[in-house]
Structure 1
Amino acid sequence: MALDANDRSIAGFTMAGHSLVHWFETSIPIFLVVWLAEFDVSILLLGLVLAPSYGLFGFGALPAGILADKYGTKRLILLCLAGMSLGFLVLALATGIYAVAAGLLVWGLAASVYHPAGLSLISTGVRERGTVFAYHGIAGNVGIALGPFVAATLLIFLQWQLVAALLAIPGFLAVLYGLSADFDPTGAVEGMDAADASDKALSLSDLLGNTRTLFASAFAVVFVIVTFEGLFYRGMLTYLPEILEGLPALEGFAVGPDLEGIEPSRYIYVGFLVVGIVGQYVGGKLTDRMAPTRGLLAIFVVLAALALAFIPVSTMGIAPLLVLCGLLGFFLFAIQPFYQNAVAVHTPADTRGLSYGYTYLGEFGLGSASIAIGGFLLDAFPLATFFAVLAAFALTGALLSAGLIAFLDRFESSRPVEEAGADDD
């Protein structure tokens, strides 16, 4: 079924927002090498400067979800885009490491708003939700791939402050585009309008009551499932480039000294992210055809198998390694539309912002614990241990998904799904 005008408008607006969140997110590490030389600081200090901004990106999602329910999703997304761009302008004016820290904090706080607000908008405004989730995910992957590529290329020719300013321009253009976008943010929910949604009071008792309602439902299990997906996702994304660089299969493909810093492993990693675009699209289309928890179960099992297969496959040569990385990229991103749709299926429409706030607290906040876990494992144990732990995260997600399927198959939900056309497990 083709998207109607409202669906198309929301799709365009949220795709712009999602791509830019990850455009900024993945360009930041490219600046780290420059800042190390520019400010003559240790890697430890620079890490301490960077960590709070990524922490805000995850843990700020919960208050952002609350604000989205109260003040409206479009308004929050526009503030997110403007705030991220402003953060990069602060970077462009930075003359010291503390100014860099301030710019990164502005970016992290603003970026935390997007996922709960953007996904809440799709879940309540879009009738062809699965298709738009797919397009939305593709846009995010485009941002993930383009951000570091554009930043690295510009840094060859320009000073880093000018590069930071140039990277901010698409964000401000997206704000102008968003101001002109016209859509109904509750167009997919019968009997609900934007005024009713935003007029709801958000007292502490309301917040606690809504939270109790969410975690007394199937959403509690979905939240834990998303957290384990986040542990797998962040661990894999953070350490795969370094792991690839040290594999014997790539030793014969090292480049010469004139191209120092350009490693074959980086190209494989970019390919891994590009294949993820296809995974997002396929996963989103499949959410229109199967219950989200069944899709989660199947993909978690595949991810566990791929993680366990990584070590033996990496010894077979470059071709099998490329195939395995392609499959990992496909399924790592194909799973995302399923958990996004699972949240929409198992939560009331009027608490959708809060629901996605908790979702991305689990995905990006609690899931970021795998950065510390992975670093410890890679430092103290054989590489196979790291992938075994990732497989354990995926298998835990699979078991939780299977348990939720069994429960939902046995007992019908006491709360009917409000959205027209929503899937029911």
Structure 2
Amino acid sequence: MSGNQARIEWFSAAGHFLCHFYMQAFPTLALYIPLAYGIERTAALNLNFAMAFLFGFGALPSGLIGDRWQGRGMLLISFLGMGACSLACAACTTPGQLTVALAGIGLFASIYHPIGMGLISKCCPNRGQSLGRNGVAGSLGIGAAPLLVGQLMAAGFSVPKAFATLAIPSLAVGVALLFVRIDETPLTAKTAAPQRRGDRTGFLIMLACMTLLGIAYRASTQVLPTHFEAQIGMVPWLAKSAKESATILAACVLLMAMVGQLIGGRAADRHDLRKAYVVFHLLSIPMVLLMASQTGLSLAGIAILYYTLSLGMQPIENSIVARITPDRLRATGFGIKFFCCFGLGAVGVALAQHMADEYSVERLYSVVGSLIILVMCIFSAFWWRCRKESFTNHG
């Protein structure tokens, strides 16, 4: 690995970790915000609506700016912005002020995905494996946030002091990046390889697939602790209540499943991307359907397999996006993807709530399986469109 590639991977990994870390820190802090600000629990949970909204919808303008300016500069803005807004949260004295500061975190966090993915896909030779390692960093951020925040609050930190402490890592990485130079020249330009033209129709087909998968993923993870609480109950050797057991098991499942990112990254570099994408999804369908009927700890085992495959397809999917977008529009392409996956994918939260209220959580997993089958049907049109092309990360 060259020095430039190492710098890209390390700072991209830091960005992926931190953007998910800040987004996942709020749900735990929301347990303590009602007492700190004198508001109801439901009002506290609603404070992050603007943050979640901007995290998804800010990806598109971030990608557009990144393609016209530079990735390093955008990452620098993201790191310093997230840290500064976390400090602003610490200084807030009213719920309204906190809403604005949290929205700032969401906006600056939205910069990472189009910029980081764009840099890796343009400048790293083993694209799939680099994207896989980067995916692990994001998963670690998701898992580390509730654990670290929980430890801070257990140690007696106030909500403002916790926000101030959480600002430190992002500000530190931002300051470090000030003294680092990154060569953003695409590999295709360095090797005199022919520039690929974008496939607009193919991208639109993939966009439909990715949006549906975003809805499916958000829906399935939204109710995972609830599903575990109902179908597994209390695990005596793990926790003292069914709710606590479900929370710990859900976190463990998602953390263990992140190995799928590494498996998917290797598959993306070694096999036809279309075949790898289909294999991962076809294997995931029976797993998610079994989640609708299993009980006890076997449900947790099935969930690990499902989420390993669900996360494992991400480096493959991101490689496909890179394959069908030209270098000059790479960040924009990823910006559109994450605009849809995180923004429109939020429909999955509403779907999960509707299914839980009107039917059952178990039936939701059957719906998720049906969505994946629909995605495979749509993807067949993409495969047919490019059936005569070599479709790998290296050609």
Query: 3-state DSSP class of the match of 1:402?
Result: helix
Q: What's the offset of the Cα at 1:191?
A: 5.7
CA contact (8 A) 1:293 1:405 kept: yes
Selected match of 2:139 from 120, 135, 141: 141
Q: What's the offset of the Cα at 1:288?
A: 0.2
Amino acid at match of 2:8: I
Give the corresponding residue for 2:291.
310
Selected match of 2:377 from 384, 393, 399: 399
Give the corresponding residue for 1:380.
358
1:340 aligns with 2:318: yes
Give the corresponding residue for 1:221.
205
Give the corresponding residue for 2:268.
287
Q: What's the offset of the Cα at 1:301?
A: 2.0
Give the corresponding residue for 1:64.
62
Deviation track 1:39-58 (CA, whole Å, cap 9, x = no partner) reads 23234433432112101100
Give the corresponding residue for 1:173.
172
1:266 aligns with 2:264: no
Deviation track 1:281-300 (CA, whole Å, cap 9, x = no partner) reads 11111110122222222222
Deviation track 1:350-391 (CA, whole Å, cap 9, x = no partner) reads 001110110101111111111011101111102232111111
Residues 177 and 285 of structure 1, relative CA distance in 2, 3 Å threshold = farther
Amino acid at match of 2:128: G
Query: 3-state DSSP class of the match of 2:171?
Result: helix
Give the corresponding residue for 1:128.
126
Deviation track 1:291-321 (CA, whole Å, cap 9, x = no partner) reads 222222222222222221113222xx32x12
Amino acid at match of 2:2: D
Q: What's the offset of the Cα at 1:264?
A: 1.2
Amino acid at match of 1:299: F
Amino acid at match of 1:346: I
Deviation track 1:174-222 (CA, whole Å, cap 9, x = no partner) reads 11222233331124122699xxxxxxxxxxxxxxxxxxx9673311111
Give the corresponding residue for 1:253.
236
Question: In 2, Cα distance between the equivalents of 1:127 and 1:395?
Answer: 32
Amino acid at match of 1:263: E
Q: What's the offset of the Cα at 1:112?
A: 0.9
Selected match of 1:243 from 217, 227, 232: 227
Question: In 1, Cα distance between the equivalents of 2:41 and 2:161?
Answer: 23
1:77 aligns with 2:78: no
Question: In 1, Cα distance between the equivalents of 2:96 and 2:281?
Answer: 41
Amino acid at match of 1:63: P
Deviation track 1:1-38 (CA, whole Å, cap 9, x = no partner) reads xx222211211110111111111111111011111232
CA contact (8 A) 2:352 2:361 kept: no
Selected match of 1:102 from 100, 103, 109: 100
Give the corresponding residue for 2:112.
114
Q: What's the offset of the Cα at 1:164?
A: 1.1
Give the corresponding residue for 1:162.
161
Give the corresponding residue for 1:205.
none
Deviation track 1:323-347 (CA, whole Å, cap 9, x = no partner) reads 1121123112111111111110011
Question: In 1, Cα distance between the equivalents of 2:314 and 2:43?
Answer: 33
Residues 291 and 115 of structure 1, relative CA distance in 2, 3 Å threshold = same
Amino acid at match of 1:313: Q
Give the corresponding residue for 1:408.
386
Question: In 1, Cα distance between the equivalents of 2:313 and 2:235?
Answer: 34
TM-score by length of 2: 0.93
Q: What's the offset of the Cα at 1:223?
A: 1.1
Query: 3-state DSSP class of the match of 2:93?
Result: coil
The number of residues matched between the two structures is: 390
Selected match of 1:323 from 289, 298, 301: 301
Residues 103 and 260 of structure 1, relative CA distance in 2, 3 Å threshold = farther
Deviation track 1:69-113 (CA, whole Å, cap 9, x = no partner) reads 011111001101111111111111111111110111110110111
TM-score by length of 1: 0.86
Query: 3-state DSSP class of the match of 2:258?
Result: helix
CA contact (8 A) 1:130 1:287 kept: yes
Question: In 2, Cα distance between the equivalents of 1:68 and 1:276?
Answer: 31
Amino acid at match of 1:250: G
Question: In 1, Cα distance between the equivalents of 2:369 and 2:243?
Answer: 30
Question: In 1, Cα distance between the equivalents of 2:85 and 2:370?
Answer: 37
Please list every run of 5 or more consecutive structure 1 residues that lacks an aligned counterpart in the other structure: 194-212
Question: In 2, Cα distance between the equivalents of 1:380 and 1:343?
Answer: 36
Q: What's the offset of the Cα at 1:260?
A: 6.8
Selected match of 1:364 from 342, 362, 381: 342
Give the corresponding residue for 2:184.
185
RMSD of aligned Cα (Å): 2.2
Please list every run of 5 or more consecutive structure 2 residues that lacks an aligned counterpart in the other structure: none
CA contact (8 A) 2:292 2:363 kept: no
Question: In 2, Cα distance between the equivalents of 1:383 and 1:408?
Answer: 38
Question: In 2, Cα distance between the equivalents of 1:172 and 1:93?
Answer: 16
